[in-house]
A and B are shown apart, each in its own frame.
Chain A
Amino acid sequence: EVQLVESGGGFVQPGGSLRLSCEASEINLYYYELDWVRQTPARGLEWVARMWGHGNQKYYVDSVWGRFSVSSDKTRNSVDLQMDSLRVEDTSVYYCRVWVREHRRDYWGPGTLVTVSS
């Protein structure tokens, strides 16, 4: 079965950086759109970024524009989320997610917690 696993979360001070990675098994991410979604109890769910596996198209929510960037690593079959200039409001659980049309379902990782605090 398709599995996604995020890694790279942790604690960082405001202004710092983290790099999240989403590795996939049983699916080649090159052929799919990979999404990063974050969630907090206070702000709910927020779609952060989308990237086509081939890398030609990328979208970011305004609140992370210019600070976050997504990229793919074909050798690891992963999509990374580089997060720079982190803010307290970026504190969240970050999920990666892929919609597999031929399965008529999506797959999510278990999530990784990012905490930005001084």
Chain B
Amino acid sequence: EVVMMQSPVTLSVSPGERVTLSCRASQSVGNNMDWYQQKPGQPPRLLIYTASNRATGFPARFSGSGSGTEFTLTIDSLQSDDLAVYFCLQFNEWPFTFGQGTKLEIK
């Protein structure tokens, strides 16, 4: 199965910072990759679909890029509401597989 590896595991950030999260696939997944945001006590929520398309309800400060094996989620001017765990997911082949997540914390 495709292994998705996220880095870093935890990131301490300050409001207003630009944040970059990474996700690497063990083999090419094309652009068949999503990003999810999960806040405490809530299910995950699709944030970016097919690598670079922002889902409904998320502001333009969230953006995704990459293809093949290397993907990036960028949050411009981080806000306190963005503190959450972010997961990448590949859906290029079954079984779909998630990364282990990156937790954003307040510095």
Residues of A within 8 A of B (CB): 37, 44-47, 50, 59, 61-62, 95, 97, 99, 103-106, 108-111
Contact = CB atoms under 8 A, between A and B. Distances in A.
A62 B95 contact: yes
A59 B46 CA distance: 21
Contacts, number: 45
B39 interface: no
Given A45-B44, A108-B43, A59 B98 contact: no
22 contacts: A44-B87, A44-B98, A45-B44, A46-B98, A47-B89, A47-B95, A47-B96, A47-B97, A47-B98, A50-B94, A59-B94, A61-B95, A62-B95, A95-B44, A99-B49, A104-B49, A104-B55, A105-B46, A105-B55, A105-B57, A106-B55, A108-B45
A106 to B, nearest CB: 4
B contact patch SS: loop
Interface of B: 43-46, 49, 53, 55-57, 87, 89, 94-98, 100-101
Nearest to A100: B56
A33 to B, nearest CB: 10
Contact of A108 (B44, B49, B87, B98): B44
B32 to A, nearest CB: 13
Nearest to A101: B49
Contact of A45 (B46, B53, B94, B98): B98
Contacts of B55: 104-106
Given A45-B87, A95-B44, 14 more contacts: A44-B98, A45-B101, A47-B89, A47-B96, A104-B49, A104-B53, A105-B55, A105-B56, A105-B57, A106-B45, A106-B46, A109-B43, A110-B43, A111-B43
Contacts of B57: 105
Contacts of B89: 45, 47
Contact of B43 (A50, A62, A97): A97
A62 B98 CA distance: 15
Interface-centre pick from A45, A103, A104, A108 (highest chain B CB count, 10 A): A45
